[in-house]
Structure 1
């Protein structure tokens, strides 16, 4: 088991306690299926997936040492789904020059119970801290759908640098990179 499989807790000022834990495919299936099949999750690519298919995908991810899925909670309430992966073990690795220490990240914010300014930023910040808590990780790589301007603009505001447009089997994507802060 890699160090990726641990629970992570962080206190985010003015936001609450953010807990990140590995997805449990059996236990989390209802929540995962409800989230990934919503129209707002269309860029996740699972809108028409059956419960069985969602379970199969997350059980498979759970078996890999290169790809991991996490549920993110805020004060005990599910807030987001995050996935990390080693780009060299993913189709993405064929699309750019992978460096040692690169880690890929996917993020799906859960459906809002209320609209709250700063919610996505706080959750995303906690995930970035979690991903970079492994000192071997030097750079975060993300590849949102090129049409998802809202996500791309959020990542740019968070400090990601834009990379090239790439063609993946399921989409045209914009590569973005975030270097580990110096120091």
Structure 2
């Protein structure tokens, strides 16, 4: 198993860590996540195990796209994808600036939700992205209907730039600068 490349501890929830996805080794786990009804916006509802493995192998081979498995206290609990918006996802609707980085995240389905968990996940993801000094702004494009993620995005500092049409449908192109993220956390961005 690959070692984590990023780790954060949240006071009341414990340790959150991210490691690169192993397309073959993680395919079965990820198949259960991305085909779950909760993951409808990942558009893989009908994917079989081979298709999920193939998709993550494609991401693994792409120099502009990465996938990370998130661990909560050592147990797989979320997925994060990082991409270069100058080359992937939003090239037709967003003029990427130097320092832009794109992101998607998904928490694992659960029958026992933990209060504050998903906020801790997105905060960990943003911490990881902004740990890279060159990353100055995070770009996301969640589906307009995904109200839960819009609330989370707002909580960590994202602003909706505009509604855009992507192959997956209508989405809110949203951005969050390092300063906006720090301000949302109550930290001085200067």
Tell me which interval the TM-score lies in, with the shorter structure as reference length. over 0.9
**Is 1:152 equivalent to 2:154 in the alignment?**
no
Aligned length: 179
| Pick aligned residue for 1:116 from 108, 111, 114 | 114
Give how far 1:113 is off. Answer: 4.6
Please point out which of 114, 124, 140 is paired with 1:126: 124
- In structure 2, the residue matched to 1:97 is 95
Offset at residue 121 of structure 1 (A): 0.5
After superposition, residues 25-174 of structure 1 pair within 5 angstroms as 25-174=23-172
SS at match of 1:132: helix
Report the alpha carbon displacement of residue 89 of structure 1 after superposing the two structures with TM: 0.7
The gaps in structure 2 that reach 5 residues or longer are 180-188
Q: TM-score, normalised by structure 1?
A: 0.94
Give the TM-score taking structure 2 as reference length: 0.90
Over aligned residues, Cα RMSD in angstroms?
1.3
Give SS of 1:94's match.
Answer: coil
